[in-house]
Structures are given as structure tokens and as C-alpha cells.
Amino acid sequence: MPVASSHPLHYSIHSRLRLARLQRLLPETTGGGRLLDVGCGLGYLSEMLGRGYQCVGVDYDMASLEANQKREIGRMVRGRVDRLAFRDASFDLIVCSEVLEHLPQGLDAAVMKEMARVLKPGGRILITVPALEGIRATSRLRNLGHDDPNGGEYHFRMGYSKEELEALFMTLPLEVHYHGFSMVIFSELAMDLLKWVYFKKNALKEHADIMGVQSSLLFRLYRTLFPLLHFFFVVEDILLASWINGHIHILCLTSYLPTEFAGNRVGVECKKE
């Protein structure tokens, strides 16, 4: 098993705050199940959430998949996330984190349909996407690094409102187990600063490019300071994210058991933790 502390995303404010929220949404029993990471990227969430699971990651970026194979992070499959090459009801847990906003209009709904198809009855889907309700939702900096149509990090949309997110699964056999926000003020400002440094000053273009920064002096200095920064931003999240809409939607969906689903359901209410 690879050491998570050697992964550069272990020192990403965005990744660590998402991870903390998603870990609390994992089913109590994790032994022997199957986890699918849709749009797995560099496999950090597969590595951290997949302990006790048989992990499968799907992505179209070969550089990311090759990096994951070197780290021995589960089984890596190259493919389209809107056409999952798996049997119906074959996964206990599905993670789809910061993926839907990268897809052209209509493909996000196709991905939701596919995830519902391959999820076992009673299973969970964990989703994170940028939110449009946050304090800094209209800031130009939040799209920094995601505005190049020729780059792998391009965002087809700035984010989702709660209503737009619900519309993606309204007609599917899924219900909301939890909805919340993360990254409120200072953590988002810090993330924007880091994006400016790496995307503007270091000219990173693809997600996998981050693997090349680990040996830089700047990254080593930042890694030394990170524990203190992380503590501060976790406290901020605990104190404020329940009261103030943040940068990220955190969503946990559960599939109905066959006897529970009786057609399309609309107007699902989000439950707070």
C-alpha cells in the first residue's frame, strides 16, 4: 500500500477538506466491498477512502492512470465516465469528486445515470462539485486554471446550484442521505493563491502535472507549513460550513432497495449532518 503522505494532493487544502467530509459519509462496514472512483484522476481519494475495499478507478487521462499504477492504487481502467464498462449493480460505493463540472452539458446527467446503474441496492454515491451559492461564487479567481478549453482541467461550468444538482438525479432511484458545504472563506482564498502560483507561475496544464512539483523548493517549504494551515482550515470548516454556503457541495446519495423505488421522485429534501 502506498504512503499517502508522499502524494502531492495530500498537501492540497481542497483535497484534504473534501476527504475529511467524505470519510464521515462512508458506510460503517467497509470490509469486502467494491469501490468505484469515477474520474479518479491521480487516485488520491481512491487511496484514502478505499481501505477495506476492492478499488477500481476510471479516467480518460493516461498520464494519471500510469501514475496510479506506479503507486499500486487498485485497478485502473481507461474509459469514458458516461459509459461505464461495468455490470449493473456491481459496486457498493461510488466516488465522483470534482468531475461533473468538467463535462459538456448533458454528459453530467449521463454520468449520474450510469453511476445509478452500476450501484448496488442500498449502496452510496459520494459527490463533490463546485457550488454556486458560496460567498465567492462569482469571483474570477475561482476559475483560475480551469478556463483553457484546450487543457485537461477545463470547466464547462463554474459550478452547480442545489436545484441544478438535484435535477441530475430526480428521476433516478436515488435519495439524499446528506448535503452540505465545505471551504467557506479563508480556505478558498488560500486555494486561489496556490492555484495562481502553480497555474500562472509554473504553467501547469494537466492534472498529472502536479506530480512533477514534489521536488521543488517551493513545494517543500509549503509542505512544512501545511499542518498548521490544515488545522486552521479544518477549524474554519467546522465552525462556519454549517452556517455559511461554501465553495464545494458535498453530497451523499443512497440507492433505493428494489421494493422502495416506485417510479420517479422529485423535490427531494437535503438532510444536514
One-character DSSP codes across 52-120: TEEEEEEES-HHHHHHHHHTT-SEEEE--TTS--S-TT-EEEEEEES-GGGS-TTHHHHHHHHHHHHEE
d(CA 249, CA 162): 8
Per-residue confidence band for 272, with pLDDT thresholds at 50, 70 and 90: very low
183: which DSSP letter?
-
Query: Which is nearest to 25 in space by CA: 116, 172, 126?
Result: 126
* pLDDT tens per residue across span 29-78: 656 799 999 999 989 999 999 988 999 999 998 888 888 888 888 899 99
Rg (the chain; Cα; Å): 18
Domain spans, the chain? 4-254
Its pTM surpasses 0.85 = yes
Average pLDDT, the chain: 84
d(CA 128, CA 95): 9
Type of residue numbered 31: G
Give the pLDDT of residue 72. 85
Structural class in CATH, domain 4-254? alpha beta
d(CA 133, CA 114): 27
Give the pLDDT of residue 88. 96
Give the pLDDT of residue 52. 87
Give the pLDDT of residue 68. 87
Percent of the chain with pLDDT over 90: 52
Residue 160, classed as helix, strand or coil, is: strand
* pLDDT tens per residue across span 231-271: 999 999 999 998 999 999 999 999 976 555 444 443 333 33
